[in-house]
Structure formats: C-alpha cells, structure tokens
Amino acid sequence: MNLALPLRTRSGSVAALMSVWPRVGEVVRAAHGFICSNCIASTLALSGGIVTMATLGLGRLDSFETAYGACGRCGARGRVIRARQDATKLQ
C-alpha cells in the first residue's frame, strides 16, 4: 500500500495547500480564541475547502487545538481551531 501524499488534490497541489498554512496560522493566532474555517476563509479570500484542509493539518500540530464548539467571530457551531495559549507566548 502506498501511503505517500498525492501530487495533486481536487483543490490543487499539496504544495499550494502547504503554502497557505502560514497565512491560516496567522489568522488563527490573531483570533485570540476559537475560529471556524468559514471565517478564516473570508478573512483570507480563500475557498472554504482549502482552508478546512489547512486547519486539519494545523490541528495536528502541538501549537494549535481543534474542537467542536462555537466560533468566537460568527458564533456558528462546528469544528473550530485556536492557537494554544502556551504556544502564543513563545512567539
């Protein structure tokens, strides 16, 4: 079984997805609380799908936390992400 990343996804290349991670991370850190993918997408003028994929990747890092809850910006309930407080103090 080949577990390597695909060269392309439906939304574009993996490299393109990884290039938005820093921008998405900046928006999440600036939110100072939980934020949903739709609010991140509207802030960055990106598609919701690409932002959702980026938040899934960022959520695996120790510096971010994902949960099911309310977005601090729009109030919608669903999957949200925030920067861990201890991680933001290091930056």
Task: Note whether residue 64 is domain-resident.
Answer: yes
What's the pLDDT score for residue 91?
44
Which domain does 63 fall in, by range? 12-89
What's the pLDDT score for residue 30?
96
Instruction: Say how many domains are in the chain.
Output: 1
Task: Note whether residue 2 is domain-resident.
Answer: no
What's the pLDDT score for residue 88?
47
Tell me the per-residue pLDDT of 23-47, one tens digit each, with 9 for 90 and over: 999 999 999 999 999 999 999 999 9
Checking 88-91 for CB contacts under 8 A at 24+ apart, the result is 88/29, 91/29
Task: Note whether residue 1 is domain-resident.
Answer: no
Checking 30-34 for CB contacts under 8 A at 24+ apart, the result is 31/72, 31/73, 31/82, 31/83, 32/72, 33/72, 33/82, 34/67, 34/69, 34/70, 34/71, 34/72, 34/80, 34/81, 34/82
Give the CATH number, domain containing residue 71. Answer: 1.10.10.10
Tell me the per-residue pLDDT of 51-87, one tens digit each, with 9 for 90 and over: 999 999 999 999 999 999 999 999 999 999 999 987 5
Task: Note whether residue 55 is domain-resident.
Answer: yes
